[in-house]
Chain A
Amino acid sequence: MQKTFKTLAIPDPQQLMFGRTPKPLICGFGLKLGNGQVYPELNFTLPTMALEETNWAAVVAQYEEIGSIIERAAARLKPPGLMAEFELLPPMTEHPSWGAELTSVLLRHLDQLHKDTGIPCALRVTPTDIRDVTKPPELRSGKPLELLLQSFEQCAAAGAHVLSIESVGGKEVHDEALLYGDIEGVIFALGVLASRDMEFLWERIVATCSKYNVVPGGDSACGFANTAMQLAGQGMLPEVLASVVRAASSVRSLVAYECGAYGPSKDCAYEGPVIKAITGAPIAMEGKSASCAHFSPVGNVAAAMCDLWSNESVQNVRLLSGPAPEAYFELLVYDCRLFNQALETKTENVYQNLLVSSDIHLSPQAYVLSPESTIRIASTVVRETGHYAQTLAAAREAASLLREGVQQEELQLNSRETEWLERITRELNALPADEHQMIITMQERYGHLFTANSYGL
């Protein structure tokens, strides 16, 4: 049974604060999220090495080492709590027992850490969405779906505390639409296709989580909005387009919560603040301390509303200081000390203002992530009914925010960005209020990329 969100859990931007949520949750070994503190979420991956059966022992040894690093670093730095995220690589999902085995390894280290130090901690496990291995993707049947669902089941059985995913339904169309700057295609991919796939997938993930008493942690529009952000970062796409995609993508990510997820959302889901404002669930975010994985124009503002603060991903390689996961864990811990000191001394609004104001005037992508923009976008989403209408409304609101930002001289855009904002606005305004006509048009334009069956169309 799906929930619908018609009001905001946090309607006031002043209350949309890091470390605090109206719906805190407890997971893992006593980790209380959104209850007045921000915790580091360490994410890690293998160094350059083959990942196959013949060297499986070496792969396991890497995760054993990472587990030991977490134990050692946490004992040294004494964070008030921590989340570790194990993001599976594709072969680990294709072989569900592999993902489960590594889950057990990391869980054992966190258990030991908790026993030795009393530090509350939890393990998030994120299987890879492998359903797009065929073109067009077969999303609702076939071996990849079977393996993906088995991976969730086996990781849950192995003791994962939180399950998440970066699902890819709709991405096959979104990628193409994004490259061509086709706004109609982008809205269709997010509001019609991705949202339908989210419903299909998250009903199943939530059922698995219920069976194993695991927290369903939400999804990330990484394959959509972060692709846009990275292409914009390389000068390939206008930043205003990436900003609008970010806002529009929040609706497909919200569907996980409509299906029963309750957070913490994924770190790379920069749409998380909108989710937090609507659902009241705690969120993970990443920014300046995730430069080990990718660059971004939202390094500080991304931190303004987080409950977990992540490094996105770091290879287990050696730096001058020591292992890279330990170095980035230390960064995160120091970031979190600042958040938590601000909360303790009741200076959180001052600190949040600094995080926001240091970024939002420099990038439209940062501008749409401010607490004020977040509440505007979230309000628009809950006013509308249906995922297509919500997606379109969120995109229009983001475009409005950017226009207002320019008019109020809070944001500067160069002439090419301005032209694109005008074009995006024009094209969004021309889109139909109802999705049915759009589905027909889009099947003609993108029918070679997706199958209607995969979306129940």
Chain B
Amino acid sequence: MKELLDLAQLLEQGQSQKVLTLTQQLVDSGLSPQTILNEGLIAGMAVVGEKMRNGEMYLPEVLQSAGAMKASLAILKPHLAREGTASRGKILIGTVKGDMHDIGKNLVTIMLQGAGFEVIDIGLNVEPQRFVTAITEHTPAVLGLSAMLTTTMLNMKTTIEAIASAGLRSQVKIIIGGAPVSQKFADEIGADGYSRDAVLAVNKVRQLMGHTSY
């Protein structure tokens, strides 16, 4: 359908206002919100993610597209809710104890929000027990842990152990990221996934949540 291809292209170009207008027109035309989402917005963001990985788009352009996606999702959300598919999933995210770095975490947050996830960011220098409390309170499907220092990356392990001790480990998937960590480290500390950048983090979260499409 041409309009859906147009929507994907406008999203890729970060043309927020046009994306909103076209989303509304498509909703008004009676097209399924699920179709608009999958064949318009998610298709557009897939191209954006691909272009960023290939070095064809800079972050400000990607974030402009993510912002347009987020705004467009706000239009679709009540319609998706009626279909029983409004919640894409809740993600809890934070930088571990002892670490003040948060730009990577913030970037992942923006990208996840742009992809339609509800993200609860509990900040930086987060004690393991605060993660435990937040999991109990928010019941996220995925927890994202960030660390930038070789002396704080071990606090990811401590955090995962604290979550396990609280009996919550089976309730939440855990993904880690940050300059000093790797897939090997993720495996060693019992995390469920690792991502080296924000675009791949979105894919990894979707994979952990078993999403093949929306």
* Residues of B close to A91: CB separation below 8 A: 98
Task: Check if A130 is an interface residue, CB within 8 A of chain B.
Answer: yes
Q: Looking at B58, B98, B123, B152, which has the most chain A CB atoms within 10 Å of its CB?
A: B58
* Residues of B close to A26: CB separation below 8 A: none
The answer, among A45, A90, A236, for a CB contact under 8 Å with B98, is A90
Contacts A128-B100, A133-B100; A49 near B63 (Cβ below 8 A): no
* Residues of A close to B64: CB separation below 8 A: 180
Q: Which A366-392 residues have a C-beta within 8 angstroms of B?
A: none
Contacts A46-B151, A48-B150, A135-B123; A236 near B103 (Cβ below 8 A): no
Q: What does the 1/0 interface line of A179-209 toward B look like (CB < 8 Å)?
A: 1111000000000000000000000000000
* Residues of A close to B154: CB separation below 8 A: 48-50
Task: Check if B124 is an interface residue, CB within 8 A of chain A.
Answer: yes
Chain B contact residues: over half helix, strand or loop, or mixed?
Answer: loop
Q: Which B41-70 residues have a C-beta within 8 angstroms of A?
A: 52, 55, 58-61, 63-64
Count the A residues whose beta carbon is within 8 Å of the partner chain — how many?
Answer: 32
Contacts A48-B153, A89-B149; A179 near B106 (Cβ below 8 A): yes
Task: Check if B107 is an interface residue, CB within 8 A of chain A.
Answer: yes
The complex places the Cα of A46 from the Cα of B180 at a distance, in Å, of 13
Contacts A180-B60, A180-B63, A238-B58; A130 near B100 (Cβ below 8 A): yes
The complex places the Cα of A89 from the Cα of B147 at a distance, in Å, of 13
* Residues of A close to B60: CB separation below 8 A: 179-182, 237
Closest residue on chain A to residue B197 by CB atoms:
A234
* Residues of B close to A51: CB separation below 8 A: 98, 151-152
Chain A contact residues: over half helix, strand or loop, or mixed?
Answer: loop
B150 A315 Cβ-Cβ under 8 A: yes
Contacts A130-B100, A135-B123; A237 near B59 (Cβ below 8 A): yes
Task: Check if A446 is an interface residue, CB within 8 A of chain B.
Answer: no
* Residues of B close to A176: CB separation below 8 A: 106
* Residues of A close to B52: CB separation below 8 A: 236
Contacts A46-B150, A51-B151, A315-B150; A420 near B58 (Cβ below 8 A): yes
The answer, among A48, A128, A238, for a CB contact under 8 Å with B180, is A48
B58 A237 Cβ-Cβ under 8 A: yes
Closest residue on chain B to residue A232 by CB atoms:
B58
Task: Check if B125 is an interface residue, CB within 8 A of chain A.
Answer: yes
Would you list the 9 A-B pairs with minimal beta carbon distance, nearest first? A181-B60, A236-B59, A235-B55, A48-B150, A51-B151, A50-B154, A133-B125, A175-B103, A180-B60
Q: Which residues of A contact B (CB under 8 A)?
A: 45-51, 89-91, 128, 130, 132-135, 175-176, 179-182, 227, 231, 234-238, 315, 416, 420
Known: A50-B158, A133-B124. 12 other contacts (CB 8 A): A49-B151, A49-B154, A51-B98, A89-B151, A90-B100, A176-B106, A179-B103, A179-B110, A181-B60, A234-B197, A236-B52, A315-B150
